[in-house]
Structure 1
Amino acid sequence: MARDDYRQYAPQARPARGLAFFALVLFALAALAHRFGSVPTPEFLWVLGIVVALALIALVFAIFALRRIWIEDDAGTGAAVVGLLLASIVLAPFAVGLQGFFANPRLTDISTDRIMPPAFAAANEGRDGRMNPIMAISPADAEAMAAAYPELVARSYALPLADLTQAVLRVATERGFVPLGRTSAADGETLEFIGYSYVLGFPSDVAIRLRAEGATTLVDMRSASRFGGHDQGENAKRIGNFLDALDYEVDVMTGVIVEEE
């Protein structure tokens, strides 16, 4: 017992715990503020950079502390382990984002129609100089889209335009899309929204084009990130999930699926 009273405390243990805790709190507060619109996205990206730096430093400190505890029999195991765990929790979302970066093509604008994608009218007017410009989809990007997301194609529904428009609006509301604009054409209309990523709330502009084709309606969808040079697959996921939800909504409307009350 006397020997334990004179054990040196690993000098990196407490800094590891403190830095990791601060990074976690900063990340949580900044993410909430950004998600609810209090912090603009460019400033939020700077905060994320600081969070990652703090978490990485805490992780290194924790590893060095645990190494010293193992070799020198120093005290401070609890603080070092807490620092290691908190730093890992903070870095986990960024690791997922890094996986998405390498698993998906470097794109920020995804459409089911790669030749004549739905047009952004309201979104184009609302983008400022810090946001990605809305541009035509290049042949190279269209080829990359087709290779990475072959399932993202236009969908045809056996419903008239008016009914399908209401179905689209219901699904958009359920998924938290914010209405942005509506453009009419001779054969249909295009609905524009702002969609947000699930966790951190990064905004993307969404255009859903509906065109009447006799007794059916053809739906094309486009999603374009406002910020960043790589969407990490977020836009393709948004389109796929939305169209799957629209399939379900149409099946309910046409009696293919009967929901229990």
Structure 2
Amino acid sequence: MIRRRLYVEERMSRLAVWSLRLAVFALPVTAIGIACYFTEVFDLTSALYAVLAGVALAALALLLALAAFVVIWNEGLRGLGRVIGAGALALALIAPTAGLAAFGARLPVLHEVSTDLDDPPVFVTLAVARSRAANSLDGPDEAAVAAQEDAYPAIHPMDFDSAPDDVFNDLMVLVARRKWTVVDAVPPRGGQRDGRIEAVARGLPLGLRDDIVIRVRRTAEGTRVDMRSVTRNAARDFGTNARRIDDLLGELAERQGKRRR
């Protein structure tokens, strides 16, 4: 008598399959949003919608992966590898977004920072070149002034004993080192004209454009440097503008042999 052997094929969990498909699909959706903003195909709003769509797909993929794990555990289906892959990809997209949201919640809602809140450096060239939809360059209101003073008390003008031309030249070197796009550079002319550097930098997240103006002004004791950094489109800068000012002025102080207070 010939015994027949029965081979029972383990079924693949459809939830596991779809969780991985969604997680993989979420990656290019998010990447397209970021790439299109960098290349100026999308404006900020459209790019954010694309990124959030990718994160939402990743969140759905994570939920499906959790459900698939429960089914696989209970019914012994195949697909555990897909579940693990889907969960890893989904978390790779969700974790940075959640971390950024948590980090931003601790910072004030500011889109510009200036060393001089009473008489901030004035944009000239960029004021004409920027889109009308960009953030205003009129200067901070009372609420923004109070928020900056509370959050960044160390941001203030810097005075140097050197001549304005020497300070201006050092600033140009530091700006070039940071690969900011210089839009206009007006050297100081003694006590008759302030020096001015206008530039554009890419900030985080999403490579947001920040507009920068640096003022070099002669004083009775030497030279005073003021700097203003304004995020062009977003309502908050996640601390980028303050860090940029603090970093540049700190390095300028080192070049000038001055100790920061």
TM-score, with normalisation over the residues of structure 2? 0.85
**1:243 corresponds to which of 246, 249, 252:** 249
Answer whether contact 1:208 1:221 (CA < 8 A) is retained: yes
Partner AA of 1:243 in structure 2? L
Answer whether contact 1:160 1:215 (CA < 8 A) is retained: no
Partner SS state of residue 131, structure 2: coil
Partner SS state of residue 236, structure 1: helix
Answer whether contact 1:171 1:249 (CA < 8 A) is retained: no
1:12 corresponds in structure 2 to: 15
- Give runs of aligned pairs for residues 123-202 of structure 1, distance below 5 A: 123-182=126-185, 186-198=192-204, 200-202=206-208
Distance 1:240 1:165 in 2: 17
Q: Structure 1: which 5+ runs fail to align?
A: 257-261
Answer whether contact 1:222 1:239 (CA < 8 A) is retained: yes
- Give runs of aligned pairs for residues 48-59 of structure 1, distance below 5 A: 48-59=51-62
Moved more, 121-130 or 162-171: 121-130
1:95 corresponds in structure 2 to: 98
Answer whether contact 1:118 1:207 (CA < 8 A) is retained: yes
Distance 1:42 1:142 in 2: 26
Relative distance call for 1:68 and 1:225 in structure 2 (3 A) is same
Moved more, 141-150 or 85-94: 85-94
Relative distance call for 1:66 and 1:109 in structure 2 (3 A) is same
Relative distance call for 1:176 and 1:33 in structure 2 (3 A) is farther
Distance 2:125 2:149 in 1: 27
**Share of identical aligned residues, percent?**
26
Relative distance call for 1:164 and 1:17 in structure 2 (3 A) is same
Distance 1:210 1:3 in 2: 86
Distance 2:225 2:6 in 1: 75
Q: Structure 2: which 5+ runs fail to align?
A: none
Q: Does 1:219 align with 2:225?
A: yes
Moved more, 45-54 or 204-213: 45-54
Partner SS state of residue 256, structure 2: helix
Using the TM superposition, give the Cα deviation of residue 117 of structure 1 relative to its aligned residue in structure 2, in angstroms. Answer: 1.0
Whose RCO is larger (CA < 8 A, sep 6+)?
1
Which has the larger Rg?
2
Distance 2:7 2:137 in 1: 65
Count residues in correspondence: 252
- Give runs of aligned pairs for residues 34-73 of structure 1, distance below 5 A: 34-37=37-40, 39-73=42-76
Using the TM superposition, give the Cα deviation of residue 165 of structure 1 relative to its aligned residue in structure 2, in angstroms. Answer: 0.9
